[in-house]
Chains A and B, each alone.
Chain A
């Protein structure tokens, strides 16, 4: 009897240990940054429902705190399994050996076919020829405009502005100080968001983040300066995030707004007017079209405890990409994505067309420094502390010294 008891105890103990081990093996810890519609959190909960043995932990991290929190997590070895990464920063994390190389997993994957992913998003998910992250979707910028205000100002809503000159002229006609309406809203805030908005303007001139000495960069900065100086955009553009710019558009206090598809849900919900979306204007008629490439990637930290489960989660998210547009305001990340019955079909068409001109930021493992140099230059121009050419030349020097 005693012997039996002992055996039972041992068996129970063993079972307990095994159960514990199994539970540990199937834990998944995910970070999510503040985002519209809680994409990551929703996906993680769906994944956990499909895998009842998975212990799920989701933690919200602020967008601006993500980089340093993730770095600290890697250094201390106590990081989560899956982190979202703003796409230009994937190279930074990968170059510093913080991320798991997904290439071997992708070779075996039946869900993710890398060849189908659009080149821009793929470039921003890779470093040195290896894939370190999976784009959850993609996005870019376009011009939202208020059809009712266009009509009221005597402008044809079927002819949105095509060039910078037209954008300026339209904005001037649409601005109505008495009614508290600015012609245009955008974000020139002093961090990555402002840079994201500025890059399409310099790229339209032939300049780029690594060619800031190209006179086009100064022309773009001067154009932004003119929009602010002439009060066609709110002086608070300097401290507005993109969501705040969208809010002024939705409230009818800005007739046009440069923003991304992630705001579509908010616009649909809040706007009490007819609105449309147009391609970003080019510098001159028939000039270079350009747009920023955004959206987050999901990566697995090198220190992840369950890389296999984490990768299965990335696969699950990727498999749901057909829902990107209608539910989360993201564009498809791959050629083979099927978006059934897209909401806002005109906007879908416009954003997809704009996507063809979207250029990746970087990739450069020092992107945060590059970004800082650009936003410093832009803000010093907009506040008249430096003239556009000098500011852009200085930023060029900084970027050159970083690149080496």
Chain B
């Protein structure tokens, strides 16, 4: 503790004031709602009661409630699938695209700009577009897959419980790739070019240069991209609302959408808060990784 305070005198008063403002802002606009959500998850909540902190204490009943629901297992599996697959594909595709656009070819910057257009679009709009692409009978995706001979029968992406979660993941990957590409491009551009030149002189081939220089130098950026991607994926809501609403029969239900449905569709606020609190713990763990990876970045 003493060590912590000992740091302060070195900083100027102005900086401390700024930090205090930032801290106050965080507490009021991020901290309090989070705390309130945790409190709600341990209470019996009836909606429409005035916003008060004094509600009957429910202990772990809300948590027990959500885990004893028949869909709980499926939601857990779907959430892991959704976050895991989305992240893996977003990072890999984003990295490959970033490498591609690093090469010098005509219209490289223009095309990179086009990719970003997808990222700017609101999730709901992207959802509506993907709903048309995924449509079973007349969707573009089925048409393409069948024309190219990959499929012989239509896939009902959004209505077949075997595919619905993957349909949502595909749309989410599409939505997330530009962001990954952008951050990774910045990271790639920051690697000093003379490193590559030296390696080339030493006779390292492209693959060796990638694993010997690019990947280690990108460690911090990758850490940041992965943690930010995980947080954004765990928050992804609009897409699911527009595409499947967690259906059919919960086959594409993920925790964040479930939490919303419980809180605001069936008004089971306590259960919804419990799910949200569990999600928050997950995000916190990821956030710790994020902070650690950015700290490394500063040291480099």
Contact = CB atoms under 8 A, between A and B. Distances in A.
Contacts of B47: 71, 75, 96
A71 B245 CA distance: 21
B43 interface: no
Identify whether the interface residues of A are mostly helix, strand, loop, or mixed.
helix
B48 interface: yes
A380 B161 CA distance: 10
A376 B250 contact: yes
A55 interface: no
B198 interface: no
A380 B247 CA distance: 10
A276 B221 CA distance: 62
A368 B248 contact: no
A372 B247 contact: no
Contacts of A98: 48
A236 B48 contact: no
B266 interface: yes
A368 B266 contact: yes
Interface in B138-177: 138, 156, 158-161
B56 interface: no
B241 interface: yes
Nearest to B159: A238
B265 A372 contact: yes
A376 B158 contact: no
Contacts of B261: 372
Interface residues of B, number: 29
Nearest to A394: B70
B251 interface: yes
A239 B159 contact: yes
Given A180-B138, A236-B156, A239-B159, A75 B248 contact: no
Interface in B233-267: 241, 244-251, 261, 263-267
A190 B249 contact: yes
A238 B247 contact: yes
B136 A234 contact: yes
Given A71-B264, A238-B159, 17 more contacts: A67-B265, A71-B47, A96-B48, A180-B137, A189-B245, A191-B265, A234-B136, A235-B136, A236-B137, A236-B158, A369-B267, A372-B266, A380-B249, A382-B249, A383-B161, A385-B161, A385-B249
> Which 6 pairs between the two chains have the least Cβ-Cβ distance?
A68-B264, A190-B247, A96-B48, A379-B249, A238-B159, A235-B156
7 contacts: A96-B48, A239-B247, A248-B137, A369-B266, A372-B265, A376-B250, A382-B249
